[in-house]
Structure 1
């Protein structure tokens, strides 16, 4: 990732629809708790349950039993879903088009979409955005959005949740435009296509696992893999998580593999991307280039990005053309704070400019040419990861007990002040995403 790149709002349709891919195998390990599985029904007892079968259903049927299932997404989209209602899609089914969930549930009685039967996850494909949630308190679990022209899941409303979904081979796996939404326990794999990819202009964009354009959203416990694409402007591009015009989002306890960068942040002039928190994530890559975190100060056309916090992350990017973190264009403690991370790169450990530079401490680094001043408790040393893929700390690691005690505000709340496995942080925590 070119830390000097300029962003533009992604342009829909700047791609070749025919350049679609066969689905890659779904990784099901590495998420806290083991394999990703769709949860049990969240339907409220008073709601109506509707069934959808792409093979044997009929849109003229009642839809209220497996024997009278609807067939098409069009029929679902036309239904007036009420609080507590559930729409169940038959496993093994395939639908082409867009599922539009506009209903307004409540916290006590959400509207739900989920699978039923046996077989592969129900798959929706082929549209600009395959699943669009414009309502409130909508819960989607166990669905797959694949080979969509823009987003697998586009969440425009507020207080919605994606749980145990799979999104692959899109420009972006999940896009949050609304606020107070959640994606958890999901697999976002091979979202490796560009929406803008042209020579010149410094404007290529795409290959996002999660694109955060809204505020107060939560990205927790997911596996994000292969957000990486060829770029005319940058050589390669992509991000597990991209924040553009989004405030106070929390990204915690995710496993990131083989993405171009883990997170990049920016904002259009007149907009903000403030107070975003990244905690207890594990980031590895076998790619030839990559980075952990890229952010900007006031000198950037898409800055300043204020109040970014990165705590207790474990990063291993062994290739030479890599960077741990970059805080340019007038970096200061108001731009970036780093605590208790373990960052190992084959390239540049980190870089800052400005009068103050980033506010960092309690970190363990290994790599080449640090371009920043080490803060209190930070060291450059081998953290002794167990292996290239297992970033648990071996006995005798200098990261053990290295971390400083942090209050819940550093994590975006007490519920997120836990390591990748869910363990509580001790009084003398280890740096990195795993405690012992």
Structure 2
């Protein structure tokens, strides 16, 4: 059996608000091949040629921008106006062919400074630093592609309540800092979250991996630094250096972030699922991280399931109902240790205390990339029942990666059937 496609997974997640509210506004068209900047820009037959014309369009709530598939642009698109909750500003593709592509190392490809945008169907490739930078609030980024950047999608501290959904973030494998010494190398992020209350869901994130002078290799599918209450759920992650790493500058926080129903695999010689820190670390403490119902397969010897170090405690990390098979170390804790239960681990070694219902056993995944459970798996019915608060609140995300509800006696891992 194959893993579900991003499109199928996205269809199982909560639907976005309809863009029909934009019908009363003006729709602008851009076509890099057949457009003309002297045209009106308000129909497909009178499309503009360059994205720069949008700067003078004075976009208002309810307006739309349609960019022709097959178009290609060099330079950044900066979206400054704001829509409203009832009348967002909508950007999407029209026509047939490849997604409209924005590239060029002179600027971030798409920067959204305003609030209440709905952006879909764009491709950001080999940009200055970020493919998409979401600096505003209530921005929904869906069905995009971002590759060849330092970070595929960046949410700075000013960005909150944004959604990154149903997108492909591939081979964002460039470093922004890569020098010898200093323990400061940084880069190769699928998603980098510095903001609060964002949702990263239903995406495929691959190839967040780059050589590092300080660490040998670096990169993360989803990196959280100084971001609180973010939810990272129902993503497929392949061949990243780590799935997630969390940290906070002194005086800042990265608290109460949730990771649920993610499927993480890799064929690389090193990798990890989750790295977090206690108060003794320079970017700690990171408090209140929750990891539930994740399925992880990292078969190489230089791998680790999770690490909670430099003052680990239950207030730092809680894990429930995960299925983790690694060729290295299942988990590592110091101090009082993490709060762990309801999980299955296979590894050469482990340095943590198993919870009452957790076991060291082979979870019996179907294959190296299909992490559904085979009949007789010890992960079947292994999990403990959890309230909706474990998933970030509400019931919308309390279903497995295939869209099935979580039963009263759940399986460990991302699949409940």
**TM-score scaled by structure 2?**
0.95
The alpha-carbon deviation at position 78 of structure 1 amounts to 2.6
Corresponding residue of 2:77: 99
Instruction: Spell out the pairing of 1:40-79 with structure 2 (5 A cutoff).
Output: 42-43=19-20, 44-79=22-57
3-state SS of the aligned residue for 1:77?
helix
Instruction: Spell out the pairing of 1:11-160 with structure 2 (5 A cutoff).
Output: 30-31=5-6, 33=8, 42-43=19-20, 44-126=22-104, 127-160=106-139
Paired residue for 1:394, among 363, 367, 374? 374
Segment of structure 1 superposing worse, 410-419 or 288-297: 410-419
The alpha-carbon deviation at position 31 of structure 1 amounts to 2.6
Contact 1:331/1:357 (8 A) holds in 2: yes
Contact 2:27/2:63 (8 A) holds in 1: yes
Instruction: Spell out the pairing of 1:327-366 with structure 2 (5 A cutoff).
Output: 327-354=308-335, 356-366=336-346
Calculate the aligned-residue CA RMSD, in Å. Answer: 1.5
3-state SS of the aligned residue for 1:350?
strand
The alpha-carbon deviation at position 104 of structure 1 amounts to 1.0
Unaligned runs of 5+ residues in structure 1 are: 1-27
Matched, 1:254 2:235: yes
Cα distance, 1:170–1:225 mapped onto 2, change above 3 Å: same
* Cα distance per residue 1:60-111 (max 9 Å; x no partner): 2211001111111211123211111100001000011111111211112110
Paired residue for 1:185, among 162, 166, 186? 166
Equivalents in 2 of 1:370, 1:41: separation in Å?
48
The alpha-carbon deviation at position 35 of structure 1 amounts to 8.6
Contact 1:29/1:35 (8 A) holds in 2: no
Contact 1:216/1:247 (8 A) holds in 2: yes
* Cα distance per residue 1:34-83 (max 9 Å; x no partner): 699xx998252201110001122122221100111111121112321111
Cα distance, 1:32–1:95 mapped onto 2, change above 3 Å: closer
3-state SS of the aligned residue for 1:88?
strand
Corresponding residue of 2:384: 404
The alpha-carbon deviation at position 32 of structure 1 amounts to 6.3
Instruction: Spell out the pairing of 1:366-377 with structure 2 (5 A cutoff).
Output: 366-377=346-357
Paired residue for 1:234, among 212, 215, 232? 215
- Count of aligned positions: 406
Contact 1:51/1:64 (8 A) holds in 2: yes
Cα distance, 1:66–1:41 mapped onto 2, change above 3 Å: farther
Equivalents in 2 of 1:46, 1:35: separation in Å?
28
Equivalents in 2 of 1:123, 1:192: separation in Å?
18
Equivalents in 1 of 2:397, 2:176: separation in Å?
33
Matched, 1:384 2:330: no
3-state SS of the aligned residue for 1:310?
strand
Paired residue for 2:140, among 161, 181, 186? 161
Equivalents in 1 of 2:255, 2:173: separation in Å?
27
* Cα distance per residue 1:320-360 (max 9 Å; x no partner): 00000000000000000000000100001110001x20000
Instruction: Spell out the pairing of 1:164-243 with structure 2 (5 A cutoff).
Output: 164-177=143-156, 178-243=159-224
Contact 2:9/2:402 (8 A) holds in 1: no
3-state SS of the aligned residue for 1:410?
helix
Paired residue for 1:294, among 275, 278, 286? 275
The alpha-carbon deviation at position 134 of structure 1 amounts to 0.5
**TM-score scaled by structure 1?**
0.91
Contact 1:191/1:209 (8 A) holds in 2: yes
